[in-house]
Amino acid sequence: MNYDLTNLPDYWYRKEIEKARRDLRYFIFSKECAPIMLRLAFHDAGTYCKRTGTGGPNGSIRKPEEFEQSCNRGLKTAIDFCEEIKLKHPMISYADIYQCNVFIGSITDSGSLNLLPTKSDKLHFRGCTNDLDTCRHCCCGDQWWPYH
């Protein structure tokens, strides 16, 4: 009998994401930190530039040059919270851990969402910034995320 093993890494990665998601859910519930964790997921994704296809949810917000921007003020706390989850689930990318924070809806009775894992982290945040004034002068013209 032949088995197709080509999707096996994705299977185990998704299983690990489910474990990380459960841990995040417990962590967010116990720390009562849902707003800042959701904000982290939003701001990590907020660098997306439709025209160039750059930026987006890639984990780059953990770098000082991004989290020290004025629009990201206070997110270092959420980044540090996620570090506890990353230590427990090292195979999960920062990008996916940060985006798992959108599942706080299941904690706050706002429904549930499905995650499409990216599995890739970036150390740069090319694309639009979350800063409206900066974004107006970037490659995307005068429109700010998410309207690019």
Q: What is the pLDDT of residues 106-117, one digit of tens each?
A: 566 555 556 556
- Nearest partner of 148 among 79, 48, 66, judged by Cα: 48
Give the per-residue pLDDT at 112: 54
Which range has the top average pLDDT, 13-17, 114-118, 139-143? Answer: 13-17
C-beta separation of 124 from 58 below 8 A:
no
- Give the pLDDT band of residue 24 (cuts 50, 70, 90): very high
Tokens of 139: 């490659």
- Nearest partner of 124 among 42, 40, 37, 44, judged by Cα: 44
Task: Spot the catalytic one: 43, 89, 124, 137.
Answer: 43
> For tokens 């599942």, what's the residue?
103
- Give the pLDDT band of residue 29 (cuts 50, 70, 90): confident
- Nearest partner of 43 among 115, 130, 121, judged by Cα: 130
The 8 Å CB, 24+ separation contacts for 32-35 are 33/77, 33/78, 33/81, 34/104, 34/107, 34/108
Catalogue all structural domains in the chain, each as residue range(s) with its CATH number: 8-136 (1.10.520.10)
Q: Is 43 a catalytic residue?
A: yes
For residue 130, pLDDT over 80 is answered with: no
